[in-house]
Structure 1
Amino acid sequence: MSVPYRLAIVGYGIMGERLLRAAIDHAPDFVTVTGLWDPSADAMARLARDLPHVPRAASAAALLHDADVLYIASPPASHLGYAQAALDAGLAVFCEKPFSVDVAEAEGFLKHNGARAKRIAVNFPFASSLGVEQIRAWLGAGDLGVVQKLSIEIGFAHWPRPWQMDAVNWLDRREQGGFVREVGSHFLFLASRLGGPLLLHPGHGITYPEAGRSERGVSATLTAGALPLSLYGAVGETPKPDHNLFTVTAAHGSIRLRDWAEAERLDANGTWQPAPGAMPNEKARPLVLRRQLEKLGRLARNETESDFPLASAEEAFAVQRIVETLLKG
């Protein structure tokens, strides 16, 4: 029987709970949760009520004594502090996106840590997505011809989304929140993985109609490697709580990822057809989280990663640069 890697978690919000439950559901000889800490007494009380068998740490520092990996699921401004403490303690790091909200601070962090930063991965689930795997397979088959352009469309009935309202105090503030950081960054990461390094062109737009609140609209043109890339996002233009499209247009057809998970291909009649076995995000998410945990195990053991690895700190920082430039308008 293999020795499980030991996972500690900072933060018991939506993302912390999701990964915690995925780790609990995984084979215990693969990963074990050694502790969780959240600065909120309410969050810790909820953990004690919902999952009393999960060890509750007395502090973030206490998590570092009995773990191989620290998963950071706290608000963005705290990420680098926790990550530095984990690296200094010899742990690998799995960090929520965005990597940081301060570009200069993140750049200094990466320079300070040098090669140690390779022990950091950032939680962009598209690195383990079944839908993205299908998109890559279609592209690899070659019958679509040369890819001509990429586009990203994201929309929300309201921001934050209904399941995020407990975090409204930071998710709807310009300092750490907004949908470009929370959602747009995922698709920018995917564009960079499929196309190449991102370059933001002049003339992008960002709207802040409500004083003190996060953005309500964004539009931009970029390139991903040599590919033109368009980005459009808005709050209040769709009745859906969360709607998104990532479209790849090629010489002989188009394919897309719809609503996070479902790969679709445009047929000869102009109708989008789902890939065989395509499933909505609610069903796909547990499988993706399991894949993320398995890749994280390889990072924890310093093993060779897959051909589509977890997002590196460098990749996440490249996305962060674009996002923070967009948010400045």
Structure 2
Amino acid sequence: MSTKRVGIVGLGVVGQRLIKEFKSNSQIEIDAVCDVNEQLAQQTASECVGVIALTDYQELVSRKSVDIVYVAVPPAHHHTVVLSSIEHGKHVLCEKPLANSRLEAQEMLKKAKQGNIVHAIHFPLPYNAPFTTMKKLIENQELGEILRISIKMHFDVWPRVWQQTPWIGTREQGGFIREIMPHYLQMIVHFFGKVVDTKAHVDFPDDVEKSETGLIATLTLANGLQVLVDGLVGQAEKEKIAFTIHGTEQTISLEDWRVVKKAHRGEELTVVEPADLIPSNVNLIDEFVKATTGEEAFLIDFEEGLLVQEVLETLHNSGNQA
């Protein structure tokens, strides 16, 4: 299989994280990197060796040598960069959430389909053992009847101390609803199907520039299953994130991204040791390359991203807008 050349737009924390995966993948070569911060672009290009540094994404997406564009700019700019990439015939891997609105996401999906473009979103959880383990338990009906799903997202401060970017605490495109919740919404729609009804109350601070501080929501899926969502910023407790599927035979919970806990009826949730999880046999970069060559691949595409986007928009438009 011939190597694919990738151009990377956006070199922040998330973009840098996936660069390491690109560099370690024998099927990928990094062709060019782009960021409005010229010093960062030059530094990243130097670290990648033999890579072009750019500050204008249009220059990157128009390069004939680029096969794939990885879009890692803030969400408000996904739509513009993705559409430009599609117009130039590039396959697109985009950061989550897919867009900054339902209409943007719809157009991105439509254009990608029209252009016969391979399109995917960088959701890391589906390529890891907790996801694979949960999926197997659901498929084998080992949880029994699933009664409810719950999502807890509690933060003592937002943005987190290590996450001080200009946009992630803004109402325009930041907040935990857009930054954290998509990971778990993706798992829900992937495992159980579309969200058909959303009832929510969202609290916003008096400062109209700042993102939400609270969320209480009930999501109803097409199969009737309900999801309870509890989001809070500012409480004293250490940050806690948990995605839990409650069944009549077993309950399984993914806590703080990596820790899987499980309980049988009448038992307390206890940690499942990593060695006892079902490992994933797929890798996002490998799967994306396979898709570009016409092979069947496991990707979270723009269609699934649109289902997530619809919920995000409904949530964000609910409640106490200052």
Establish whether TM, by shorter chain, passes 0.5.
yes
- Partner residue of 2:241 out of 226, 239, 244: 244
| Letter matched to residue 156 of structure 2 | A
Q: Is the 8 A contact 1:124 1:310 kept in 2?
A: no
SS in 2 for 1:271: coil
Match of residue 160 from structure 2:
161
Q: In 1, Cα distance between the equivalents of 2:183 and 2:98?
A: 12
Q: Which runs of 5+ in 2 are unaligned?
A: none
Q: Is the 8 A contact 1:158 1:235 kept in 2?
A: yes
Match of residue 231 from structure 1:
229
TM-score by length of 2: 0.89
Structure 1 position 177, deviation (Å): 0.8
- Partner residue of 2:52 out of 49, 56, 61: 56
Q: In 1, Cα distance between the equivalents of 2:81 and 2:5?
A: 17
| Letter matched to residue 209 of structure 1 | P
- Partner residue of 1:198 out of 170, 176, 195: 195
Q: Is the 8 A contact 2:154 2:232 kept in 1?
A: yes
- Partner residue of 1:296 out of 275, 288, 295: 288
Q: In 1, Cα distance between the equivalents of 2:263 and 2:184?
A: 20
- Partner residue of 1:39 out of 36, 40, 58: 36
Structure 1 position 111, deviation (Å): 3.5
SS in 1 for 2:231: strand
| Letter matched to residue 324 of structure 1 | E
Q: Is 1:189 paired with 2:181? A: no
| Letter matched to residue 286 of structure 2 | E
Structure 1 position 101, deviation (Å): 0.9
Q: In 2, Cα distance between the equivalents of 1:262 and 1:115?
A: 40
Q: In 1, Cα distance between the equivalents of 2:294 and 2:308?
A: 25
Residues 146 and 36 (structure 1 numbering): CA distance in 2 closer, same or farther, change over 3 Å?
same
Match of residue 284 from structure 1:
none
Matches within 5 A, 1:1-329: 2-26=1-25, 28=26, 30-47=27-44, 51=47, 53=49, 55-58=51-54, 59-64=56-61, 65=63, 66-116=65-115, 119-165=118-164, 167=165, 169-202=166-199, 204-211=200-207, 212-226=209-223, 227-237=225-235, 239-240=237-238, 242-267=239-264, 270-277=267-274, 291-305=283-297, 309-329=298-318
Q: In 2, Cα distance between the equivalents of 1:98 and 1:54?
A: 31
SS in 1 for 2:73: coil
Q: Is the 8 A contact 2:125 2:131 kept in 1?
A: yes
Structure 1 position 269, deviation (Å): 5.8
| Letter matched to residue 263 of structure 1 | V
Q: In 1, Cα distance between the equivalents of 2:113 and 2:87?
A: 13
Q: In 2, Cα distance between the equivalents of 1:11 and 1:160?
A: 19
Q: Is the 8 A contact 2:151 2:242 kept in 1?
A: yes
Q: In 1, Cα distance between the equivalents of 2:196 and 2:81?
A: 30
Structure 1 position 139, deviation (Å): 2.4
Structure 1 position 187, deviation (Å): 0.8
**Cα deviation per residue 1:75-132 (whole Å; 9 max; x = unaligned)?**
1111111111211222110001111112223323434454437621111222212111
Q: Say which structure is richer in helix.
A: 1
Q: Is the 8 A contact 1:122 1:312 kept in 2?
A: yes
Residues 237 and 146 (structure 1 numbering): CA distance in 2 closer, same or farther, change over 3 Å?
same
SS in 2 for 1:7: strand
Q: CA RMSD in A?
A: 2.4
Residues 225 and 276 (structure 1 numbering): CA distance in 2 closer, same or farther, change over 3 Å?
farther
SS in 1 for 2:180: helix
Q: In 1, Cα distance between the equivalents of 2:155 and 2:43?
A: 28
TM-score by length of 1: 0.87
Structure 1 position 62, deviation (Å): 3.0
SS in 2 for 1:57: strand
- Among all aligned residue pairs of Structure 1 and Structure 2, give the percentage whose two residues are the same amino acid: 27
Structure 1 position 270, deviation (Å): 2.6
Q: Is the 8 A contact 2:153 2:231 kept in 1?
A: yes
| Letter matched to residue 253 of structure 1 | Q
| Letter matched to residue 228 of structure 1 | Q
SS in 2 for 1:311: coil
**Cα deviation per residue 1:18-53 (whole Å; 9 max; x = unaligned)?**
000111123x3x21111111011242244256x151
| Letter matched to residue 105 of structure 1 | E
Q: In 1, Cα distance between the equivalents of 2:31 and 2:262?
A: 43
